[in-house]
């Protein structure tokens, strides 16, 4: 009887050892997978940032970085070209040089950016603080098919995005590009204008986060 009891205890003990061994091995494998995933994500993210930084340095002499708070235990810095204005996740450049819409967009692209895409009223409120009330500024919004199908240059959905037209605008066939302009007493809003008219412009690019 004693020997039989010892055999049962030994069998139970081996069963527990097997269970714990499986659990330990499973946890170890999961840990390895997690670590590899983190390393891969790190290299992917930082690889993209390094590429973006390299691209920006081909167009801009220097960058300015701002402390954007912390992410877990790692500091996060948002970087813009030194002459650009930072806001949210983007950098902005106000140009008073007057060009057509296509030339203005070309100039922005040449700096690694595009004509500004306004996504919120808060974003516009920040931008217009930098503008001259006597000037009109091209936005990255146009109607290239001339059929009232307005499109943003970065493929942001026009219908799902904020629309801040002046009352009654857009209102004139042939005026297929958008600008932001100050009208007294209405304040700042969007107006449809001829694409080949000469206006100032606003460029936008995404910040690089480090």
Residue spans per domain, the chain: 1-59, 69-209
Alpha helices in the chain (DSSP H): 2-59, 101-109, 121-128
CATH 3.10.100.10 at 69-209, yes or no? yes
Model confidence band, residue 24 (pLDDT cutoffs 50, 70, 90): low
| pLDDT tens column, 58-68 | 667 788 888 87
| pLDDT tens column, 91-120 | 999 999 999 999 999 999 999 999 999 999
pTM for this prediction: 0.73
Q: What pLDDT, on the 0 to 100 scale, is given for residue 120? A: 97
Distance CA 85, CA 74 (A): 24
Question: CB under 8 Å to 89, separation ≥6 — which residues?
Answer: 78, 206, 207
| pLDDT tens column, 145-156 | 999 999 999 999
């Amino acid at each position: 009887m004693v020997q039989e009891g010892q055999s049962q205890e030994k069998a139970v003990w081996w069963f527990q050892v097997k269970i714990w061994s499986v659990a330990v091995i499973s946890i170890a494998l999961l840990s390895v997978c997690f670590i590899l995933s983190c390393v891969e994500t790190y290299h992917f993210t930082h690889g993209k940032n390094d590429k973006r930084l390299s691209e920006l340095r081909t167009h801009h002499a220097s960058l300015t970085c701002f402390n954007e708070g912390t992410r877990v235990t790692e500091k996060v810095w948002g970087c813009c070209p030194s002459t650009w204005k930072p806001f949210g996740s983007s950098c902005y450049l106000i140009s008073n040089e007057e060009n057509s819409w296509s030339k203005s967009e070309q100039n922005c692209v040449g700096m690694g950016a595009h004509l500004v895409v306004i996504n919120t009223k808060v974003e516009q409120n920040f931008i217009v603080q930098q503008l001259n009330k006597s000037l009109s500024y091209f936005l990255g919004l146009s109607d290239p098919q001339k059929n009232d199908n307005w499109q943003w240059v970065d493929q942001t959905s026009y219908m799902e995005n904020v629309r801040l037209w002046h009352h009654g605008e857009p209102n004139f066939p042939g005026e297929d590009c958008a600008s932001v302009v100050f009208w007294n007493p209405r304040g700042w809003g969007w107006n449809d204008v001829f694409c080949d008219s000469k206006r100032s412009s606003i460029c936008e690019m995404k910040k690089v986060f480090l």
